[in-house]
């Protein structure tokens, strides 16, 4: 007979955010119900598989990690999980996704059904079996489409930049419109899931939140060409693969948040949940860089010269400059702050990739 130890249900448990969450909450004495069928390998190839991380979670957490190798579009199998564990689930962290706007254009039906329909399945099951359980959806800044590209950007030596007196200088906040822009099909499917998560909070009064991530990163990331900026860059530095820069002269700016700091945000929300909230989450100015700056920092950390190629064609709908404002989240949860800076994050990623490639 199972004990009444509390559970955290995590979809995408083998991915960057899911595996970080599994280790974090298991460390707090919770059992993890993991859902991940490694679709990532199908999206991006064997090098992006998360099987290694799922195996590691099973070994490290033992009985405190219960794995389900299922597709989040499979409503019947998801229903069985919620039915069996409805009395013990303390929170749902939904991080499973098709995560690439490049890949989405190849198979729009797969992208939408995974990102939107899969999220609807989970929200509806949470409403039926665990309506008071905090529900966290890992959204994306791509819900804003290419609206950030209309900002008055100036070209600097190594990055595009915005004037210091602009209201978004310290980061884009949740008031930016998601309308009248090109999102990519990935951005559209994630926007649908984002709005659904908000609506289940506002319409049904459930404790839900959409966390709109910038560049989420860390040593548990299985970076690939089409997804996982810093992780893939560090991999190229360690292995000698060629890193391709897509457009904007390599001066496009990203803010990067370590997955551990993101999970600490989730923990704050779970302890004091709200209904239908949205939060922009990223490294803000504290941990931002252009692609060129990231290459230089990676080379400094690894001591290896990165082989690069340049394509004039930027990815459609890609952001030239994106820095997240986390001010709203901090106003709701003032105890939270960053624990990883950019250099420490890249060092951890590089060390992890070096170890895995021994």
The dihedrals phi and psi of 32, each to the nearest 5 degrees, come to: -105, 125
Looking at the DSSP bridge assignments, the partners of residue 202 are none
Helix (H) or strand (E) holding 298, with range, is helix 291-302
- Domain boundaries defined on the chain: 7-356
Residue 270, SS3 per DSSP: helix
CA distance 36 to 272: 27
∠ CA(15), CA(258), CA(59), 5° rounding?
Answer: 40
The dihedrals phi and psi of 301, each to the nearest 5 degrees, come to: -75, -45
Q: How many CA atoms lie within 13 A of 62 on its CB side?
A: 3
Task: Choose among 57, 48, 51: nearest CA to 20.
Answer: 57
Instruction: Give the per-residue pLDDT at 96.
Output: 97
Neighbour count for residue 33 (Cβ, 10 Å):
23
Flag residues of the chain having pLDDT under 70.
1-5, 222-227, 358
Neighbour count for residue 292 (Cβ, 10 Å):
19
Looking at the DSSP bridge assignments, the partners of residue 136 are 93, 209
Nearest-Å Rg of the Cα atoms of the chain is 19
CA distance 90 to 98: 25
Pairing of strands 153-155, 160-162: antiparallel
Neighbour count for residue 333 (Cβ, 10 Å):
18
* 215-217: strand order across its sheet: 215-217, 253-258, 288-290
Q: Which residues, 6+ apart, have CB-to-CB distance to 266 below 8 Å?
A: 21, 91, 93, 136, 211
DSSP labels for 179-196? SSS--HHHHHHHHHHHHH
Q: What is the token pair recorded at 52? A: 């290694």
Instruction: Give the per-residue pLDDT at 358.
Output: 66
Instruction: Give the per-residue pLDDT at 94.
Output: 98
CA distance 20 to 142: 22
∠ CA(91), CA(194), CA(339), 5° rounding?
Answer: 60
Burial 143-169 (b: 16+ CB within 10 A, else e): bbbbbbbebebeeeebbbbbeeeeebe
Kindly report the pTM of this predicted structure.
0.93
Interval 193-238: pLDDT, tens: 999 999 999 999 999 999 999 899 988 776 666 667 888 899 999 8
Interval 228-238: pLDDT, tens: 788 889 999 98
Find out whether 189 and 104 touch, Cβ atoms under 8 Å: yes
What is the homologous superfamily of the domain 7-356 according to CATH? NAD(P)-binding Rossmann-like Domain (3.40.50.720)
Instruction: Give the per-residue pLDDT at 315.
Output: 81
């Amino acid at each position: 007979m199972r004990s009444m130890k509390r559970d955290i249900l995590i979809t995408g448990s083998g991915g960057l955010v899911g595996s970080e969450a599994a280790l974090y909450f298991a460390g707090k004495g919770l059992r993890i119900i993991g859902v991940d069928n490694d679709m990532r390998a199908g999206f991006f190839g064997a090098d992006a598989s998360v099987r290694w991380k799922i195996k590691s979670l099973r070994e490290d957490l033992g009985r405190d990690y219960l794995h389900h190798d299922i597709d989040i579009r499979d409503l019947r199998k998801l229903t069985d999980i919620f039915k069996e564990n409805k009395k013990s689930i303390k929170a749902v962290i939904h991080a499973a996704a098709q995560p690439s706007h490049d890949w989405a254009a190849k198979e729009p039906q797969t992208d939408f059904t995974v990102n939107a329909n899969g999220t609807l399945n989970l929200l509806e099951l949470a409403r039926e079996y665990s309506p008071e359980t905090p529900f966290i959806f890992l959204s994306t800044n791509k819900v804003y489409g290419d609206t950030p590209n209309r900002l008055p950007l100036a070209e600097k030596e190594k990055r595009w930049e915005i004037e210091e007196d602009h209201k978004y200088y310290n980061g884009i906040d949740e008031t930016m419109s998601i309308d009248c822009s090109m999102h990519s099909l990935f951005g559209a499917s994630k926007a649908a899931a984002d709005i659904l998560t908000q609506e289940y909070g506002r319409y049904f009064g459930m404790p839900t939140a959409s966390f709109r991530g910038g560049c989420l990163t860390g040593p548990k990331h299985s970076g690939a060409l089409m997804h996982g900026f810093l992780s893939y860059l560090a991999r190229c530095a360690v292995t000698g693969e060629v890193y391709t820069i897509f457009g904007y002269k390599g001066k496009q700016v990203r803010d990067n948040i370590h997955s551990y700091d993101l999970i600490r945000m989730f923990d704050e929300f779970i302890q004091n949940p709200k209904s239908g909230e949205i939060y922009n989450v990223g490294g803000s100015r504290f941990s931002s860089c252009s692609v060129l700056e990231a290459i230089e920092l990676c080379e400094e950390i690894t001591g290896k010269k990165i082989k690069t190629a340049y394509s004039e064609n930027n990815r459609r709908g890609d952001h030239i400059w994106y820095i997240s404002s986390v001010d709203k989240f901090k106003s709701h949860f003032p105890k939270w702050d960053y624990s990883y800076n950019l250099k420490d994050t890249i060092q951890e990623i590089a060390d992890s990739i070096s170890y895995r490639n021994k």
